[in-house]
A and B are shown apart, each in its own frame.
Chain A
């Protein structure tokens, strides 16, 4: 009796960890793509907030969750285009301009929310989509195969992105211009076009991450993400710029969060201790950064604007 209860809780915790990892995973896959091409984007959190509000508002209006996801992606793509223009054409310093994007998203999403929604109204999240046969498996079924569609999309993107990065010309181009844009340029790869596409897709994923978060929580409020976008950036370093590494990092973060939440619900740990536990991801990341900085090299051209013949 007690055993099966424990198993139930563990299964539920892991399942919720996977759900919580999803926005992190989407956002950090996008960030990884941009960084692989040599562009740092610190505005992820702002893009997520805008995507989250856009999706939330769309669902309120239409009751269609897919439209919500599309709006989230769309807003991300637009900001991506803008960010690509200022960092690539105007060669704006990437660390600081990203903070500008963050502040813009933070203020704008709050402004629109207050003006057009005001009091928070909940929206219904996605129904879990049970994968036939697999979802019926004991334990594993509930853990892995009874999630909403967005969870499957996010995790399916991991092998897709690995494939694109390592098995296609486009991926080779991205990696080449992230390491040595001069050499890639001399071989006829358009540094501008490739970076533009990587940044736009990356921001689209950040917008999708925000949309997924708002739909999963069924709500929007001021600063909904609470710095999740910044953690997503750190996860890219944590995962040493590989999609698989990023996925492992996201899962670790999701699980830590799920465990903390679970402990809070059961009152195993007092409120104040959960504040300490909430520090853990950031501290783990700092330690990971030390290790990563030693072991792995970041894309050599990261944050360096490319000037032809310059």
Chain B
């Protein structure tokens, strides 16, 4: 019963958001039913479409899994965007430095570099929270801004494609990165690449980390009740820092995959973070919340949101509805899913006598 309610209420929140989306479609002069049919048909109706959806879901899943870990430790990581950028930058630097290495070495190296870059960026916010009492919400937001400017700086300077300088066009992008770092395509003629496997493995790994290791137990304990954890001899600062490091590492891998799984095989900036990340650093939060902060449930959740992104492009072509609609809709889904927590608690409480102390449950509530 409990897990049924935990599942059904967030889903109702999503449906409500989609209904508002239908009203928006209607007022934009598009038929909402055929609109949604177009969207979900494009995303899940064919193998090509599904392959596209899977590729779009990779960064959402990776960031989302990282968010699961952070939120379970009661750390609100808003820094996915910056952590993706820093991971991608370090991975790109590695590929630029060792272009000659064979794929078997270079691909793992760039993925690890992505993880290291993201983890480094995340752990700065973690250390600031743990040792200087700086709210991670604010520091991660500021670190996003720093990371974006750092990306612009590197892609216009040290890392710019020499051909851009020679031509004088100066588009801020790297050269075509080593082919040895290209993520292998899994299905002939489609875009689905190795990144999908990596993301799934990370999700499963995160599940084991959280529920099958002592480290995961400590992370969850700190999130559930820091005072009791401290009393039990668990270092709160250390675990807060590592929660943000793990979370950042996963976002960093997502950043690396965005570069090496892209069609251009370059890292490009348009000056902002969304141009590179597609807001995955924020949308990953939605994915994790809908999944009840569970890494495995994050997989279907990420596919749903990835599918919406693919569908939005189809909708733009078919009905001239700007794909920005989906960003707005994602925002509504966040708001509704977070608000639905209230109804979930009420339903769960109505069946029980004991009082749930709300302050001690981590942000998104829990599944188990």
Contacts and interface: CB of A to CB of B under 8 A. Distances in A.
Interface of A: 40, 42, 46, 86, 90-93, 95-97, 99-108, 110-111, 114-115, 222-223, 226-227, 230-231, 233-234, 237, 271-272, 275-276, 278-279, 281-283, 285-286, 289-290, 293-294, 298, 304-305, 307, 310
Contacts of A293: 132-135
Given A223-B274, A227-B144, A279-B149, A97 B282 contact: no
B76 A95 contact: yes
A279 B339 CA distance: 34
Given A42-B78, A92-B339, A111-B324, A103 B149 contact: no
A287 to B, nearest CB: 10
The 4 closest A-B pairs by CB, nearest first: A107-B327, A100-B334, A104-B331, A107-B328
B322 A289 contact: no
A272 B322 contact: no
Interface string B174-216: 0000000000000000000000000000000000000000000
B331 A275 contact: no
B325 interface: yes
Interface of B: 28, 76, 78, 128, 132-135, 137-139, 141-146, 149-150, 152-153, 156-157, 272, 274, 279, 282-283, 285-286, 289, 321-322, 324-336, 338-339, 341-342, 358-359, 363-364
A256 B143 CA distance: 18
21 contacts: A42-B141, A90-B341, A92-B335, A92-B342, A96-B285, A99-B285, A101-B331, A104-B328, A106-B327, A107-B326, A108-B328, A114-B322, A234-B142, A237-B135, A272-B157, A279-B145, A279-B153, A282-B146, A285-B142, A286-B143, A289-B142
A278 B148 CA distance: 10
A276 B150 CA distance: 7
A132 to B, nearest CB: 41
Contacts of B274: 223
A304 B324 CA distance: 33
Contacts of A114: 322, 324
A285 B324 CA distance: 31
A100 to B, nearest CB: 3
A101 B330 CA distance: 10
Given A107-B329, A111-B322, A234 B138 contact: yes
Contacts of A230: 141-142, 144-145
A115 B316 CA distance: 11
A97 B339 contact: yes
Nearest to B129: A293
Nearest to A283: B146
A115 B24 CA distance: 12
A107 B324 contact: yes
B20 to A, nearest CB: 10
Task: Name the residue among B282, B327, B358 with the largest chain A CB count within 10 angstroms.
Answer: B327
A91 B356 CA distance: 14
A110 B137 contact: no
Nearest to B330: A103
Contacts of B149: 275-276, 278-279, 282
A289 B139 contact: yes
A2 B57 CA distance: 59
Contact of B137 (A90, A95, A290): A95
A103 B342 contact: no
A290 B128 CA distance: 8
B132 A304 contact: no
A107 B325 contact: yes
B327 A110 contact: yes
B276 to A, nearest CB: 13
B134 to A, nearest CB: 5
A286 B125 CA distance: 10
B338 A275 contact: no
Contacts of B144: 227, 230
B279 A92 contact: no
Given A107-B330, A234-B141, 7 more contacts: A104-B332, A107-B328, A111-B322, A115-B321, A237-B135, A275-B153, A298-B135
A222 B324 CA distance: 10
Contacts of B335: 86, 92, 97, 100-101, 104
Given A92-B335, A223-B272, A272 B342 contact: no
Contact of A279 (B150, B285, B342): B150
A103 B141 contact: no
B268 to A, nearest CB: 15
Contacts of B327: 103, 106-107, 110-111
Contacts of A234: 138, 141-142
A286 B331 contact: no
B162 to A, nearest CB: 15
Contact of A227 (B145, B156, B330, B358): B145
B163 to A, nearest CB: 18
Contact of B338 (A46, A86, A233): A86
B137 A42 contact: yes
Most buried by A among B144, B325, B326: B325
